[in-house]
Structure 1
Amino acid sequence: MYKNVKYSLSLTLLISAIFASTDCNAWGQNGHRVVGKIAESHISETTKAALIPYLNGESLAQVSTWPDEMRSAPGDFWQKKSSRWHYINADDNATFSFNHDHTKHKESVTNILEGIHYSIRVLKDDKSSLAAKQFSLRFLVHLVGDSHQPFHAGRAEDRGGNRVNVTFFGQPTNLHSLWDTKLIENENLSFTEFAQFIDTDNAEIITEYLASSPEQWVTESHNLADKLYKLNNDEIGFSYIYENTPIIKTRLQQAGIRLAGLLNTLFDSSAKPLAKALKMSANTNK
Structure 2
Amino acid sequence: MLLKTMKMLLLTTPVISALSAAPAHAWGQNGHRIVGELAAMHITDTTRDALVPLLDGESLPQIATWADEMRSAPEEFWQKKSSRWHYINFSKDDAKPSYDAHSHHNKETVADILEGIEYSISVLKNEKASLAEKQFALRFLVHLVGDSHQPFHAGHSEDRGGNRISVTFFGQDTNLHSLWDTKLIENENLSYTEFAKFVDTSNQTLISDYLASSPSDWLIESNNIANSLYKENETNVSYSYIYKNLPIVKTRLQQGGIRLAGLLNSLFDKSAKPLVKALKMPANSEL
In structure 2, distance between residues paired with 1:95 and 1:132: 34
Q: 64-73 vs 226-235, which deviates more?
A: 226-235
Q: Kindly indicate whether the alpha-carbon contact (under 8 Å) linking 1:63 and 1:138 is maintained by their aligned counterparts in 2.
A: yes
- The Cα offsets for residues 134-173 of structure 1, whole Å up to 9 and x where unpaired, read as 0000000000000000000000010000000000000000
Match of 2:168 in 1: 167
Match of 1:15 in 2: 19
1:276, distance to aligned residue in structure 2 (A): 3.8
Match of 1:273 in 2: 274
1:56 maps to 2:60: no
In structure 1, distance between residues paired with 2:261 and 2:139: 14
1:90, distance to aligned residue in structure 2 (A): 1.6
Q: Which runs of 5+ in 2 are unaligned?
A: 280-287
1:37, distance to aligned residue in structure 2 (A): 0.2
What TM-score, normalized by structure 2, do the two folds share? 0.90
Match of 2:231 in 1: 230
* Secondary structure at the counterpart of residue 224 of structure 2: helix
Letter in 1 for 2:269: D
* Secondary structure at the counterpart of residue 272 of structure 1: coil
How do 1:171-182 residues align onto structure 2 when only pairs under 5 Å count?
171-182=172-183
Match of 1:252 in 2: 253
Letter in 1 for 2:20: S
**CA separation of 1:276 and 1:54: change in aligned 2, threshold 3 A:** closer
In structure 2, distance between residues paired with 1:151 and 1:257: 20
In structure 1, distance between residues paired with 2:277 and 2:158: 41
Q: Kindly indicate whether the alpha-carbon contact (under 8 Å) linking 1:98 and 1:215 is maintained by their aligned counterparts in 2.
A: no
1:181, distance to aligned residue in structure 2 (A): 0.2
In structure 1, distance between residues paired with 2:91 and 2:174: 25
Q: 8-17 vs 139-148, which deviates more?
A: 8-17
Match of 1:212 in 2: 213
How do 1:109-124 residues align onto structure 2 when only pairs under 5 Å count?
109-124=110-125
Letter in 2 for 1:54: L
How do 1:117-196 residues align onto structure 2 when only pairs under 5 Å count?
117-196=118-197
In structure 2, distance between residues paired with 1:69 and 1:24: 12
Match of 2:285 in 1: none
Question: Identity, % of aligned pairs?
Answer: 67
* Secondary structure at the counterpart of residue 172 of structure 1: strand
* Secondary structure at the counterpart of residue 266 of structure 1: helix
**CA separation of 1:94 and 1:86: change in aligned 2, threshold 3 A:** farther
1:84 maps to 2:84: yes
Letter in 2 for 1:15: L
In structure 2, distance between residues paired with 1:264 and 1:37: 15
In structure 1, distance between residues paired with 2:132 and 2:123: 10
How many residues are aligned here? 269
What TM-score, normalized by structure 1, do the two folds share? 0.90
Letter in 1 for 2:38: I
- The Cα offsets for residues 26-47 of structure 1, whole Å up to 9 and x where unpaired, read as 0000000000000001101110
1:73 maps to 2:73: yes
